[in-house]
Amino acid sequence: MSNSENQRRRKTFPLEIEEELHKSLKIKAIEEGVTLHTLIIDTLSNRVQEKPTPYRTKPKQKGTVK
């Protein structure tokens, strides 16, 4: 593991949210052309007034809703 990887370790945790909030977040992510994961990470980062994280996943294909 490189030095930069050690400095940017990631943590995971389960997150339970109401179905309507999940739906709203998913719609917002689709509108912005990003994954739900990316939207949540960016939103949390902005909320704590940090610089947006450079972590990005591949943009979702338009029209792919599951």
Residue 6 in domain: no
Q: How many domains does the chain have?
A: 1
CB atoms within 10 A of CB 45: 14
Supply the Cα-derived Rg of the chain in whole angstroms: 14
Non-local CB neighbours of 41 within 8 Å, separated by 6+ positions = 53, 55
Whole domain around residue 25: which residue ranges?
17-66
Evaluate whether residue 4 is within a structural domain: no
Whether 61 shows a pLDDT value over 80: the answer reads: no
Q: What is the pLDDT of residues 3-29, one digit of tens each?
A: 666 567 889 989 999 999 999 999 999
Q: Is residue 54 part of a domain?
A: yes
Residue 43 lies in a domain: yes
pTM, 2 dp: 0.61
